Structure 1
């Protein structure tokens, strides 16, 4: 497991790099930020959990998303926001944590 980025919910307008339609999430590219910050903003009718929409999350790159999720309280089931990328979120002591599996 390797630290990847921090995701911070915001109500402020940003120069969004993308939009994930199923979750109705606007986001910036954390790779473009010198400190690895991903800004996120959910639309009013987003199906994402309140915890995800309102509390910053830490993200870790993992070799196997199934192994990382084992025994954890799943907040958001595994989904694929881009080709070769699988993501899931857990509830870790009241805070969201993201696991990212990237296959080239």
Structure 2
């Protein structure tokens, strides 16, 4: 499996200039690709359904070519979901920390 670094996600309780809100997870976020160090800030609403591990511990994220292959035999923290068109995301637990896998499919126009 080829893992290509994408970003680091850091939970916070501070207000930032949020780029978006993911309603199903009740997550406010900044766009990591706008940050020179690929940092994504995350703020979870009090009623967020996301696991405590994600809400309290920073995660590292990797691009993967095939989500199913990447998840094979892993301890899944958050099942695969699509936060946007052509994007699939899942979180695993690795040595007590969350790790994000991102699969990006090219858009056909």
Fold-level match, TM-score > 0.5? Answer: yes
Length, aligned pairs only = 104
Output the CA distance in 2 between the equivalents of 1:40 and 1:10.
6
Shift of 1:55: 0.1
Larger Rg: 2
Regions of 4+ moved over 6 Å: none
Which residue of the partner structure matches residue 80 of structure 1?
82
Shift of 1:62: 0.2
1:39 to 38, 41, 53: 41
Output the CA distance in 1 between the equivalents of 2:10 and 2:104.
21
Shift of 1:46: 0.2
Which residue of the partner structure matches residue 16 of structure 1?
18
Structure 1, unpaired ranges of 5+: none
